[in-house]
Amino acid sequence: MIYLDHAAATPVSAKVLQAMEPYFREKFFNPSAAYLPAKEVSAKYEEAKNTIAHAIGAKGNDLVMTAGATEANNLGFTVLEPGDKALVLETEHDSVRRIITQNRQFSTRSHGEFIGVDETGRIRLEDLRDKLDDSVKLISVSLANNELGIIQPLAEIAEIIREVRFDRLRRGVKRPILFHTDASQALNLLNINVARLGVDMMTINAAKVYGPKGVGALYVGHEVRLSPLSVGGGQEKGLRAGTENVPGVIGFATAITEAQSHLNGNRKKYAKWKKLFLDNLNDYTLINRGKTLDNFIVICYDGLDAERLIFLLEERGVYVATGAACAASKGVGSHVLAAIHLSASKIAGSLRITLGETNDETQIIEAAKIINEVVDAERKRVNG
């Protein structure tokens, strides 16, 4: 198997699994219990939160642990109150987009608009400025797009938001303006610091950095006031009820430490592999241009059906994607590729390839060879 879909899921690393294992059996105690073994588990849980937070320049108390990035994104939007507006980049993951398009609770109290992108998928800052009226309370822009790997200029967006805050203060407008980002895809390739990026909330996800699935976190700045999505025992400062996922958070702490300690090496390695892959690939169109994550490759074979290519490649042991896994499984076309104004035939013929730790140079060359053979055979079939 040659697995080239690391943006969708990563295997749990050996170090992460080893760190988690004791908390399934020997150290299984509920952190809220009063006896000493439980208190020791609680201390390890808080230590793990501190480790995760430190990786993004925050403190453990700034984090709300969640069951993944989707829950963290939804929790962030609870800052909105009646009359507030949210601005969301049109290429965001559906866990953000659908909050303003399909979430009934949101639509009854707030409203949202999309911010446009250019032909590379980068935010159009002039469109953001045009839509920043006094009703806007929340702006959500991912650090790196989950389909294209495009890295957004968060510091520039934060500077615009600071200007708006100052102007509102000068004019006596009391509504705050907050900045949220989903940084899930970027944790193992970018040096992330919440203060440097200028964000008030940040979503992160263990499953993208060789940690366990179903574990995420929302960084929450001190001026942010959220409402819980569920109530119960008061865990996570009352914002996320339920017994803490101790093994998952321990695993996340190990995974993010590993990821951040290999940032430079990962960037160099994936940049080298990306060039090697493209050098061995025939007759393609590269879709993701500009400043992107080094492990993201989006290519197009205009006139061919990418979904059919995926099945044919799977038969040869190569696993790739057409876009976000959750959308592809439902047969939904990519809103991201539509937003950068690709034609319908180019969208239909686009593949997303994301490199990762399961790969090596031999696999990269072999994958390109197999893709060339499958595409050539498919072109001959289509052209009769």
Question: Other CB atoms closer than 10 Å to residue 37's CB: what's the count?
Answer: 12
With beta carbons less than 8 A apart as the criterion, state whether 199 and 179 touch.
yes
Q: pTM for this structure?
A: 0.92
* Structure token digits, residue 142: 């991912």
Domain ranges of the chain: 2-11+263-382, 14-260
Q: Dihedrals φ, ψ of 122, to 5°?
A: -80, 140
CA distances to 33, 44, 168 from 38, in Å: 6, 10, 48
Q: Which residues are catalytic, by number?
A: 326
Note the pLDDT of residue 327. 47
pLDDT tens string 138-194 = 999 999 999 999 999 999 999 999 999 999 999 999 999 999 999 999 999 999 999
80: left (phi over 0), alpha (psi -120 to 50) or beta: beta
The segments of the chain whose pLDDT lies below 50 read 324-329
* Site of tokens 């949220």: 180
**Is 2-11+263-382 assigned to CATH 3.30.70.20?**
no
Amino acid identity of residue 362, one-letter, is T
> 81 Cβ partners below 8 Å, 6+ apart?
109, 110, 137
Residue 60 is predicted with a pLDDT of 94
305: CB partners within 8 A, 6+ apart = 348, 349
User: What kind of fold does domain 14-260 have according to CATH?
Assistant: Aspartate Aminotransferase; domain 2 (3.40.640)
- 88: tokens are 């969301």
β-strand 318-319 against 2-3: which pairing, if any? parallel
Which two three-digit tokens encode residue 251?
């695993």
Amino acid symbol at 166: F
How many CA atoms, within 13 angstroms, populate the side-chain half-sphere of residue 134?
Answer: 9
Note the pLDDT of residue 108: 55
Question: How many whole angstroms separate alpha carbon 11 and alpha carbon 323?
Answer: 19
Question: What pLDDT is stored for residue 324 in this prediction?
Answer: 46
Answer yes or no: same fold for 2-11+263-382 and 14-260: no
pLDDT of residue 182: 97
DSSP conformation class of 5: B
Look up residue 314 and give its two tokens.
Answer: 């799977």
Q: What are phi and psi of 25, to 5 degrees?
A: -125, -75
Instruction: Return the closest-CA partner of residue 240 out of 251, 228, 227.
Output: 228
Strands (E), 128-208: 136-140, 178-182, 201-205
Side-chain half-sphere exposure of 260, counting CA atoms within 13 A: 17
Number of Cβ within 10 Å of residue 97's Cβ equals 19
* 138 in Cβ contact with 164 (< 8 Å): no
